[in-house]
Amino acid sequence: MKRDNILNMTTGSPIRLLIQFSIPLLIGNLFQQAYSLTDSIIVGQYLGAHALAAVGATHSVTFLFFSICNGISSGAGIVTSQFFGADSQEKTKRSIANSAYIMLLAALVMGTAAFLAAPGILRFLGTPAQILPHSLSYIRMTCIGVPLVAVYNYSAAMLRALGDSRTPLYFLICSAFLNIGLDLLLVTVFHMGVFGAALATVIAQMTSGIGCLLFAMKTNPYFRLSREDLQVDFKVVYQIIRIGLPLALQWSLIAVSTSALQRFVNSFGPDAMAAFTSTNRIEQLVHMPYGSISNALATYAGQNYGARNIPRVKQGLKQGMILATVLSGAMLLVFQLLNRPIIGMFVSEPAVIELGARGLRVTSCFYLLLGAIYVSRGLLNGVGDAMFAFINGIVEVICRIGIPMVLVALIPGIGCIAIWWTTCLTWTGGAIFCMLRYYVWNRKTQLQTA
């Protein structure tokens, strides 16, 4: 049932609702990734492979600090969707207000911590000395933008909890084009290097965040908050933290694991770093359709769980896996056939292109397992399975730290291709764990309703 920009997902065809909700999410996620893709393409083509490696070396660090805000916003969105599904307007508005307080505090703390800790973390990761100043310049500018990203994440999470996945999309599209224009201006005209690329992204994020929030306050009735709605509600705060903190810890642990993998990548030198940065940017796009399905399932499961319709929640998993299977087959075909031209979009050095293409051929064979992770994770997050999120993060840390050591020890001469095999085997371990966790939750709900 849809009213204006509010979509009630407790009735109607699950697969139709998931597709309807996922498509704007996917388009928005693709435009959001245009920030980092634009930076990478322009930096790689105009400033060279070493500059691209400098940007790539910051990814795991920024992901670590952004993940806290992302986890809290996801938790806040789940709580809000459950209140909305339970048809409690008062609690829905309280959740929207209290989520803002938590998000603002988390963003200020994380942005400051990231800015101060960046030099030490980059050195710990073994960032080569010749690219360290550029990496530090890029990451510190990015850290300043953490609160601006949080404004957008907050607005988008609240709107999506109410079933509105379109409004955040419109503002992302505008800011993505702004980012491209500013990238070209600051990097190629004003020659500001990687700092200019980061500055362009921050300005674009500020535009999307503030614009989306102001529009929501003007047009969405749930954002019209009274003085009573704006009061701190410690019960709501507790629920947001109870769900959001494990999600934040999950993403933080995943960020720690990617940082450990980045350290392994750095040990192979700038060419391997540039190849990994290229494939990593591409795989960020690969994650987008799965992430869109996952976010749609989290809202779908949250609303139906709030309405206490457990059979309909379970039906969503089956429909989500159908969508993930179709996507996996299509992307496998694309990356097996067009790996070299795709890598060539980022760099021009033949050795880097060949290494990146080889990595893509390996990882694309494991996309269905990645899809299974996202589908099961989205549903379990939606029903508030907070402990799962934390344990899932631990699994990824163990895999990304342990697998490279095992591969190098067992397969002498495997070289830097172990980087991409580590990713594949991590997805395999994560998919097995996620499906086992869903099985346990399913059995538990069957016993409760028996």
- Helix and strand numbers (H, E) in the chain are 16, 2
Nearest to 274 by CA among 130, 114, 65, 121: 130
For residue 175, how many C-alpha atoms fall within 13 Å in the half-sphere facing its CB? 29
When the pLDDT of each residue in the chain is averaged and rounded to a whole number, the result is 85
Q: ∠ CA 280-53-425 to the nearest 5 degrees?
A: 30
Residues 48-100 have pLDDT tens digits of 777 777 777 787 677 777 777 778 888 898 899 889 888 888 899 999 999 99
High-pLDDT (> 70) share of the chain, %: 96
Residues 317-331 have pLDDT tens digits of 999 999 999 999 999
Residues 6+ apart with CB under 8 A from 390: 246, 249, 250, 253
Residues 351-399 have pLDDT tens digits of 888 888 999 999 999 999 999 999 998 899 888 887 787 787 788 888 8
Q: End-to-end distance of the chain based on CA atoms, in angstroms?
A: 30
Q: What is the pTM of this model?
A: 0.72
Nearest to 261 by CA among 64, 433, 113, 47: 64
Residues 6+ apart with CB under 8 A from 272: 265, 355, 416, 419
Q: Is 4 left (phi over 0), alpha (psi -120 to 50) or beta?
A: left
Question: Residue 35 has what pLDDT?
Answer: 62
pLDDT band for position 450 (cuts 50, 70, 90) = low
Written as six digits, the tokens of 338 are 């067009």
Confidence check: pLDDT of 404 > 50: yes
Residues 134-184 have pLDDT tens digits of 888 888 888 888 888 888 889 988 998 888 888 888 898 888 888 889 988
Confidence check: pLDDT of 201 > 90: no
CA distance 411 to 388: 33
Question: Residue 321 has what pLDDT?
Answer: 93
Angle (deg, nearest 10), helices 193-219 and 146-161: 30
CA distance 361 to 219: 46
Average pLDDT over residues 90-119: 90
Nearest to 428 by CA among 368, 380, 342: 368
Q: How far is CA 116 from CA 9, 64, 305, 363, in A?
A: 43, 14, 41, 35
